[in-house]
Amino acid sequence: MAENENKVTSEEIEAEVQENEAKVSEEKVAKKEKKSEKSKGPGFFARLGAKLKKFWKTMKSELKKVTWYSRQQTVISTLLVLVVMVIAGAVIGVLDVLFSLGLEGLANLF
């Protein structure tokens, strides 16, 4: 009698398989609905366009806040930079020649 109680009939197995298939199909439907809810928003290019538009507006407003130099101040600053570059180049060139002569002199001693 104990054997009969432990045995599972094929009808019970089929019923369990059908229940499992129903659960799986319900989960698939739920996933599809969830995906469709996500895709209801704006697309990638729409979001990108909106972000670029916002960036451009912000950049323009920030550039309006910048204090720009006058033309005269810009010319004077540019000339000053050029003069300092020429002087620095000349100093480096003179030091290069002096060190080269010094090293040649040391090389000639030995």
Mean pLDDT of 4-13: 71
Mean pLDDT of 89-97: 98
Annotate the chain with three-state secondary structure. CHHHHHCCCHHHHHHHHHHHHHHHHHHHHHHHHHHHHHCCCCCHHHHHHHHHHHHHHHHHHHHHHCCCCCHHHHHHHHHHHHHHHHHHHHHHHHHHHHHHHHHHHHHHHC
Two tokens, residue 90: 């000349």
pLDDT in tens, 20-62: 888 888 888 877 777 666 667 788 999 999 999 999 999 999 9
pTM: 0.44
